[in-house]
Structure 1
Amino acid sequence: MQNILNLFQGIATLAASDPKIIIARISLIFLGMLLVYLGKREILEPLLMIPMGLGMSAINAGVLFFSNGQQGNLFVDPLITDPKALLDILQIDFLQPIYTLTFSNGLIACFVFMGIGVLLDVGFLLARPFLSMFLALCAELGTFATIPIAKALGLSLNDAASIAMVGGADGPMVLFTSLSLSKDLFVPITVVAYLYLGLTYGGYPYLIKLMVPKKLRAIKMPPKKASRAVTSGEKMAFAAVVNTVLCLLFPVAAPLFVSLFLGVAIRESGLKHFIDFIGGPLLYGSTFFLGFLLGVLCEAHLILNPKVLILLVLGIIALLLSGIGGILGGYIMYFITRGKFNPVIGIAGVSCVPTTAKVAQKSVNEVNPEALILPEAIGANICGVITTAIIAGIYITLIPAFLK
């Protein structure tokens, strides 16, 4: 029997593990399969969930014995720090080079952000700058309010700020912030972020129905007064100026800012080959490896950390509060304009581009097919990306200084 177990080491390591590890491994194997299924059905984002689910199942099934009798895998070792040991492991674990050279330093998050920049038309923001900024700031409620809640639940300030960034609904931003502030928990925080971001499309419509009655959801936005279109030169100037100012104010988050606005500038430059590369192979390749590596990092010891359950609860709270804050911002604009503003637009300030803008438009169309709110929603949505990046820069800059 022992010889058979030695032949199939995945089963042998399972049999030799503590009961907690056995349950955790089996649970994560089936959770990975569930993510693949939900991704295939497009209930969750398939671009992330399919590679993440397969990686999660594989890492928990593919555990083997090493020559020293210890258990391990041939995927990646995220905890290794000794330079000599790192050089050795780079030649053994097949995902270690990708993790070490693109993941642990935030490069893969910057690649994704660059791709997002290529997809953003900041003309919607520049056409309504004050409205977009106001709604985006209101939709950051979860990013701020989750910190004291997390502190009350026993998390450190660094960990609290990292999980609060889930309220910004921007996966690369959560990854970058948690890598800077909370390296020990960046894997569960980032996994929680991406799992919950996939739920925004399914969950936010119910929040809209709960907070906004049909009569208000049906409001048609008044036609915008005729004005000249925002030129590509103005969009490039906006990207250059805002990027420079933000890098000057928050140098620690400069890689994120320059990645986003470089993408915007390339979009407006009309450089087709760059646009096709950054918005295609770079963005989708980075998204694939981001999802796959996050799945592979979800090994059994992860869910045995008692903080993971707290992170799961706080992630939901952060996204819920941000959605509520956005809708409250929409209500404020409704009263300011004396009933001429559709409060549903406020939820688009949550920066899950373009999901929340599409959710807002879909919710409105269910009660009034003739109501078009997408231009205002996209402006708030794009501004939400920028405000979330600014908040990430503030947290990464100020929190370490505050703790000194």
Structure 2
Amino acid sequence: MENIDVLNLFQGIGTMVASGWFLAIARVVLVMIGFLLIYLGWKGILEPMIMIPMGLGMIAINCGTLIMPDGSLGNLFLDPMLTDTDELMNVMQIDFLQPIYTLTFSNGLIACFVFMGIGTLLDVGYLLQRPFVSIFLALCAELGTFLTVPIASAMGLTLKESASVAMVGGADGPMVLFTSLVLAKHLFVPITVVAYLYLGLTYGGYPYLVKLLIPKRLRAIKMTNRKEPKQYGAKVKLAFAVILCAVLCFMFPVASPLFFSLFIGVAVRESGMKHVYDFVSGPLLYGSTFMLGMLLGVLCDAHLLLDPNIIKLLILSVLALLLSGIGGIIGGYVMYFIKKGNYNPVIGIAAVSCVPTTAKVAQKIVSKENPESFILGDALGANISGVITSAIITGVYVSFIPYL
């Protein structure tokens, strides 16, 4: 009987030895992070629809590394770095997630599906009730999207790379995915993974930022309206979505898939197409989000994430979201002074789009301090404006930065 090579038989263990101590430690750390994401998703601290499949994907990809026929380390999930057409067609018959990645993820389709679903969640009536205040707050909450670009450039990233990571400050995953695909495809995997990890942390991080920067007496402000906000019918909302879609696609054709996806979702919501609405807001949105989380987890392969720029991306992503949160709160303070105290500055944090998470975070914080204070309508107006301004900035970046 031949001697059995245990390390070759159990290649998950064997590749730990063959990969060297640094990569082995990185794989173990990512496995532990995977367990943590699953726990936080299960507890509801982070978004379970993304974090649970993402965590399990991280565990599977880093445990399931094997030795390929050519002697290199690989897996049977997918290879995001393949560009040769013939080789790609062969791999798509072997790696079971490769077709989904190639045909829906790496071309931005899944981001557009998610954005379409987000569109069905947007009641643009909240924006139309207070358009100028909502847009002002949304622009303030893009502080991280703007300031991170020069900071990233100073840290050695190119302008295209800087713009890609700066979009994390817009707190919209599809925008980050789309921008990095167009401007910095070589950093597409680490930027996208880092972005979605940190977007999940807006649940837990922003409440502490609000409590740090806004005192309790201001968080408890109950706003009084001198007149009831005007209610807009479905016809006006549909017309608004169609006109805005046409204008933005005309101005920024490069980002037109994102604009179309968002506003087709709004149009479905407002046009009364119940069966289509149920599909887009249900199976399409949740299915795409779940698959997105699973693919993100599988992309967390240790050797892919050990890019020399990954530490920079980690720091810049946190900084972008932090600056955007601070910008939104500054906008809230500005409105507080303009309204002579009849405005709750916590609403500013909702302008960091991440629909509808930050709006719910704002209402939860305020309700804890004053159960009689209801700011959700104003927060949703700022929230929806944040989505639109993020999409516009995406259009600006992908249209103009290649020429700079």
TM-score past 0.5 threshold:
yes
Of stretches 8-17 and 222-231 in structure 1, the one that deviates more from structure 2 is 222-231
- Which sections of structure 1, spanning at least 5 residues, go unmatched? none
Among 151, 167, 170, the alignment partner of 1:168 is: 170
Q: How does 1:28-67 map to 2 (within 5 A)?
A: 28-67=30-69
Among 70, 77, 80, the alignment partner of 2:79 is: 77
Deviations 1:273-299 (A, max 9, x none): 101100111111100111111111111
Q: What count of residue pairs does the alignment treat as equivalent?
A: 402
1:277 and 2:271 equivalent? Answer: no
Q: Work out whether residues 5 and 12 of structure 1, in 8 Å CA contact, stay in contact via their aligned partners in 2.
A: yes
Find the counterpart in structure 1 of residue 113 from structure 2.
111
Q: Work out whether residues 354 and 381 of structure 1, in 8 Å CA contact, stay in contact via their aligned partners in 2.
A: yes
Query: Whole-Å Cα distance in 1 between the matches of residues 8 and 21 of structure 2?
Result: 20
Find the counterpart in structure 1 of residue 18 from structure 2.
16
Instruction: Check 1:224–1:240 CA distance in 2 against 1; reply closer, same or farther (3 A cut).
Output: farther
Report the alpha carbon displacement of residue 2 of structure 1 after superposing the two structures with TM.
Answer: 5.3
Query: Whole-Å Cα distance in 2 between the matches of residues 331 and 71 of structure 1?
Result: 53
Report the alpha carbon displacement of residue 302 of structure 1 after superposing the two structures with TM.
Answer: 2.7
Find the counterpart in structure 1 of residue 367 from structure 2.
365
TM-score for the superposition, normalised by structure 1: 0.97
Report the alpha carbon displacement of residue 227 of structure 1 after superposing the two structures with TM.
Answer: 5.4
Among 157, 160, 165, the alignment partner of 1:158 is: 160
Q: Work out whether residues 193 and 299 of structure 2, in 8 Å CA contact, stay in contact via their aligned partners in 1.
A: no
Secondary structure of the equivalent of 2:228?
A: coil
Query: Whole-Å Cα distance in 2 between the matches of residues 302 and 88 of structure 1?
Result: 21
Find the counterpart in structure 2 of residue 252 from structure 1.
254
Report the alpha carbon displacement of residue 358 of structure 1 after superposing the two structures with TM.
Answer: 1.1
Of stretches 174-183 and 62-71 in structure 1, the one that deviates more from structure 2 is 62-71
Q: Work out whether residues 51 and 288 of structure 1, in 8 Å CA contact, stay in contact via their aligned partners in 2.
A: yes
Q: Work out whether residues 353 and 386 of structure 2, in 8 Å CA contact, stay in contact via their aligned partners in 1.
A: yes
Find the counterpart in structure 1 of residue 198 from structure 2.
196
The residue type equivalent to 2:90 in the other structure is D
Find the counterpart in structure 1 of residue 212 from structure 2.
210
Q: Work out whether residues 76 and 99 of structure 1, in 8 Å CA contact, stay in contact via their aligned partners in 2.
A: yes
Q: How does 1:92-103 map to 2 (within 5 A)?
A: 92-103=94-105
Q: Work out whether residues 129 and 229 of structure 2, in 8 Å CA contact, stay in contact via their aligned partners in 1.
A: no
Find the counterpart in structure 1 of residue 268 from structure 2.
266
Find the counterpart in structure 2 of residue 356 from structure 1.
358
1:295 and 2:297 equivalent? Answer: yes
CA RMSD of aligned residues (A): 1.2
Of stretches 383-392 and 176-185 in structure 1, the one that deviates more from structure 2 is 176-185
Of stretches 104-113 and 187-196 in structure 1, the one that deviates more from structure 2 is 187-196
Of stretches 213-222 and 116-125 in structure 1, the one that deviates more from structure 2 is 213-222
Q: Work out whether residues 24 and 303 of structure 1, in 8 Å CA contact, stay in contact via their aligned partners in 2.
A: no
The residue type equivalent to 1:366 in the other structure is K
Instruction: Check 1:333–1:228 CA distance in 2 against 1; reply closer, same or farther (3 A cut).
Output: closer
Of stretches 45-54 and 30-39 in structure 1, the one that deviates more from structure 2 is 30-39
Find the counterpart in structure 2 of residue 26 from structure 1.
28
Q: Work out whether residues 129 and 230 of structure 2, in 8 Å CA contact, stay in contact via their aligned partners in 1.
A: no
TM-score for the superposition, normalised by structure 2: 0.97
Report the alpha carbon displacement of residue 96 of structure 1 after superposing the two structures with TM.
Answer: 0.7
